[in-house]
C-alpha cells in the first residue's frame, strides 16, 4: 500500500513524509548505536532537517522511535468506521482484526523498520510504557466502539474492555512471534491464528 495516505493536501503530505523520515532515521540510528548514544541533533541531521523542525513533530527522541506515523487519530476513526460497518455475522474480535488490516499492512510493508523498532523496545522497556500512553485515547475510543457494536455500555459492562484486552493480547503475541521469526512469516496469518485461539477460548493443546 502507498506510504502516504490518499487525499492529503500537498502541505499535509509533506508533513506526513517529514514525520516518517524522522521516525525512520530515529529507529535506524538507535538500532545501530543504542538509545543512549543517539541525540535529537543526530536524528535531525540524518533526516536533513533542523532541530527546531524535529521538535515541531516530536517532543523527544523517545517519541520519534515510538510514534511511527502522524495520523493515529485519523486511523482510529477509520478503524472504528470499519468495525461498526462489519456484517453482524462476523464476530466482533475478527471484525476488529479486519478493521486493523491496513495498520498491519503498514508494518509488513516496512518490515525492516518495524523489526528494528521492536528490537529497540525489547532493549528499552520504558518505551513500551511510552507507547501505551500514546495509544491510550485510541484504545478508549475502540472500547467504546466495541460497546456500541454490541449494544452495551462501555462503563457498566465488562465485555467491551475485556474483549479489547483479549484481542490486544492475541495481537501482541502474534506480532512478537513475527518478530522472533525475523518477519519471514505472514503477519496476517499469525494474527488470524492467534485470534482463532482467543475466540475459541484458548483450548489447551493436545
Q: pLDDT tens digit string along 44-75?
A: 999 999 999 999 999 999 999 999 999 999 99
CATH fit for domain 71-206, picks 1.10.3720.10, 3.40.50.300, 3.10.20.30, 1.10.357.10: 1.10.357.10
Domain 1-68 and domain 71-206, same fold? Reply is yes
Residue-level pLDDT at 1: 42
C-alpha cell at 41: 541533533
CATH fit for domain 1-68, picks 2.30.40.10, 2.60.40.10, 3.40.50.1970, 1.10.357.10: 1.10.357.10
Q: How confident is the model at residue 3 (pLDDT cuts 50, 70, 90)?
A: confident
Phi, psi of 145 (to 5 degrees): -70, -40
Candidates 64, 133, 142; CA nearest to 99 is 142
- Quote the CA–CA distance of 190 and 184 in Å, as a whole number: 11
pTM of the model: 0.90
Q: How confident is the model at residue 206 (pLDDT cuts 50, 70, 90)?
A: confident
Domain-wise residue ranges, the chain: 1-68, 71-206
The one-character DSSP state at 205 is: P
Say which residues have a Cβ less than 8 Å from residue 3's Cβ, sequence separation at least 6. Answer: 17, 20, 109
Cα 28 off chain centre by = 18
Amino acid at each position: 500500500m502507498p506510504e502516504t495516505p490518499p487525499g492529503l493536501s500537498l502541505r499535509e503530505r509533506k508533513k506526513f513524509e517529514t514525520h516518517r523520515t524522522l521516525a525512520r532515521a530515529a529507529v535506524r540510528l538507535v538500532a545501530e548505536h543504542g538509545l543512549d548514544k543517539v541525540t535529537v541533533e543526530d536524528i535531525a541531521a540524518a533526516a536533513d532537517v533542523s532541530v527546531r523542525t524535529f521538535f515541531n513533530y516530536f517532543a523527544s527522541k523517545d517519541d520519534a522511535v515510538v510514534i511511527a506515523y502522524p495520523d493515529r487519530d485519523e486511523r482510529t476513526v477509520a478503524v472504528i468506521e470499519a468495525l461498526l460497518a462489519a456484517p453482524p455475522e462476523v464476530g466482533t474480535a475478527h471484525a476488529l482484526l479486519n478493521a486493523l488490516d491496513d495498520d498491519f499492512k503498514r508494518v509488513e510493508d516496512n518490515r525492516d523498520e518495524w523489526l528494528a523498532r521492536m528490537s529497540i523496545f525489547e532493549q528499552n522497556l520504558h518505551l513500551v510504557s511510552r507507547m501505551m500512553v500514546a495509544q491510550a485515547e485510541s484504545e478508549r475510543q475502540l472500547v467504546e466502539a466495541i460497546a456500541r457494536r454490541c449494544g452495551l455500555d462501555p462503563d457498566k459492562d465488562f465485555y467491551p474492555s475485556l474483549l479489547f484486552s483479549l484481542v490486544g493480547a492475541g495481537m501482541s503475541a502474534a506480532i512478537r512471534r513475527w518478530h522472533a521469526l525475523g518477519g519471514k512469516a505472514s503477519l496476517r496469518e499469525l494474527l488470524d491464528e492467534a485470534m482463532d485461539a482467543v475466540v475459541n477460548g484458548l483450548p489447551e493443546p493436545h
